[in-house]
Amino acid sequence: MNIYSKLLAVVTVATFSSLLFLPSVYGSDDDGHKWGLGWFKQSKLDVAPVNNPVYREECGSCHFAFQPGLLPEKSWRKMMAGLEDHFGDNAELDAEKQKSLLDYLVTNSADKSDYKRSTRIASSLKPGEVPLRISDTVYFKRKHDEIPMRFVTDNKDVGSYSKCEACHTRAETGSYNEDEVKIPGVGRWED
């Protein structure tokens, strides 16, 4: 083996070896846009999907089953303590089911999550702030500030910011990537 063959072999091995480490160096921004070689590894960009069938059935039967990582523990505790007037509806549950769902929500809340969007939601809150709606958080307002109201509240297919799944095509999976937004009657959203 001549010197050039040896050099080529060393460069080839070094190049392929470095590719194994690049995924931990490269990644994505908080909107889920991937850069570099971050696609090699599975990342936790958004929020953990709902994986509790009782929660999905009980809460998802009336509205979108919001992922626990969209609100902090204090918010879920306050919400579950007031189910007799849940945004104008009575959503009371038997004590056992309520405790089970509260445990699930608290364990997976934004302030206990290692998903990037969840941690950013939690860190956007002021001390003592206990929002009952994700749309009341600074994080949400910053992410939706350029969307005209006519695309949401005046849009019969959306109606309110609480219908995440109307525009976020993969919301059910916990993905709120800006590239996956399609506003009904408007189309793909780009800010």
Give me the count of residues in the chain: 191
Q: What confidence tier does 47 reach under pLDDT thresholds 50, 70, 90?
A: very high
Say if residue 17's pLDDT is above 80.
Answer: no
Residue 143 and residue 120 in contact, taking contact as beta carbons nearer than 8 Å = no
**pTM score over 0.85:** no
Q: What's the domain count of the chain?
A: 2
* Cα four-point dihedral sign 120, 56, 32, 132: negative
What's the mean per-residue pLDDT of the chain? 85
Report the share of the chain in percent with pLDDT over 70.
78
The candidate with the shortest Cα–Cα distance to 29, out of 124, 143, 110, 125, is 143
pLDDT at 58: 94
Residue 20 and residue 58 in one domain: no
The candidate with the shortest Cα–Cα distance to 183, out of 162, 159, 164, 167, is 167
Contacts of 113 (CB under 8 A, 6+ apart): 47, 48, 68, 69, 119, 122
Residue 173 and residue 138 in one domain: yes
Whole-angstrom distance, CA of residue 89 vs CA of residue 123: 30
Residue 70 and residue 110 in one domain: yes
Residue 16 and residue 104 in one domain: no
Residue 9 and residue 84 in one domain: no
Structure-token match 């950013």, residue found: 120
Q: What confidence tier does 122 reach under pLDDT thresholds 50, 70, 90?
A: very high
How far are the Cα atoms of 9, 89, 96, 104, 177 from residue 50, in angstroms, in the given order?
48, 22, 20, 10, 17
Helix ranges restricted to H, 38-174: 53-60, 73-81, 95-107, 116-123, 138-144, 164-167
Residue 118 and residue 160 in one domain: yes
Q: For 134-159, what is the mean pLDDT?
A: 94
Whole-angstrom distance, CA of residue 83 vs CA of residue 95: 11
Whole-angstrom distance, CA of residue 176 vs CA of residue 86: 25
Is 48 part of a structural domain of the chain?
A: no
Say if residue 177's pLDDT is above 70.
Answer: yes
Residue 21 and residue 82 in one domain: no
Residue 7 and residue 66 in one domain: no
Q: What confidence tier does 12 reach under pLDDT thresholds 50, 70, 90?
A: low
